[in-house]
A = this chain, B = another copy of it.
Amino acid sequence: MAHIQVHRDDIDLDEPTLVEGLPGLGLVGKIAADHLVDVYDMEYYAACHCDGLPEIAVYAEGDPTVRPPVRIYADADEDLLVLQSDAPVSPSGATEFAGCLVSWFDANDVTPLFLSGMAAEQDGEPPAVYGISTGDGASMLTDADIEHPSQAGAITGPTGALIHEAQRTGLTGVGLVVEADRQFPDPAAARAVLQTAIGPLGDFQVDTEALVEQADQIAEAKQRLAEQLEASEDDSTSARPLGMYQ
């Protein structure tokens, strides 16, 4: 039953770019992905029903429609897809998820942009961003003027599994690594990767002013996040609010 279930065949896409937004270090990917969905008012395009994903029921404020926790949003004008997730992918399910998602990318001519934070000291400098590539992605990095890695590294977790699978199968894609806060959501890092890499790669310019303004909200969210992580250890049935930067 594992598959990507598209329910908006009416949205016309031509070799789209996909921005991957799984929760990870600094929540960089999730913040950037959620921001794109918000700014472009993107349409809920497809549900991810891959084995290994959490089976929970998610809903939005003011809208009774139940949605799965991992979804793809689309914008036909920008030929853009965004992978949005409301829950972490478990390490044990990462292999299944990577195979399920990357094979869909391949079958639908999707070029993925994978995102990962990298722990760094906060030194007042803007966070560094560099790019890595799978398939023929190296030329994309050159065309978008994105720097090569300044040191060797490894990307682990679900995003690491996705990039590994793209490499294994030869799918053209790009991974973007950005310095970020190790412990808390880092909208500044998300802004940096949107401005210096995702925009140039996807050939669009996205307004990121909101990310700056939301600094205060982030401070509040830090507190909320801590509480949610604590609560998530309970396996019995309950509904709980989804914060902006869960």
Distance to closest chain B CB from A157 (angstroms): 3
Q: Judging by beta carbons under 8 Å apart, are A49 and B168 in contact?
A: yes
**Identical copies of this chain, number:** 5
Question: Could you tell me if B63 and A148 are in contact, using CB atoms closer than 8 angstroms?
Answer: yes
Check B67–A159 contact: CB distance below 8 A: no
Chain B residues, CB < 8 A from A141: 64
Decide yes or no: A237 and B152 within 8 Å by CB, A55-B95, A57-B160, A138-B65 being known contacts: no
**Are B164 and A56 in contact, with the CB atoms below 8 A?**
yes
Q: Is A13 an interface residue (CB 8 A)?
A: no
- Contact between A238 and B25 (Cβ–Cβ < 8 Å)? yes
The CA-CA distance from A245 to B118 in the complex, in Å, is 20
What secondary structure prevails in chain A residues at the interface with B? mixed
- Complex: how many Å from CA A116 to CA B213? 35
Residues from chain B with Cβ under 8 Å of A132 in the complex: 57, 59, 64-66
Query: Within A133-177, which residues are at the interface with B (CB < 8 Å)?
Result: 133-134, 137-138, 141, 148-161, 163-168, 175, 177
**A residues within 8 Å of B by Cβ?**
5, 22-25, 29, 47, 49, 54-69, 86-88, 91, 94-95, 98, 116-119, 130-134, 137-138, 141, 148-161, 163-168, 175, 177, 232, 235-242
Q: Which 8 A-B pairs have the closest CB atoms?
A: A157-B237, A24-B237, A57-B163, A25-B238, A152-B242, A159-B237, A118-B239, A91-B235
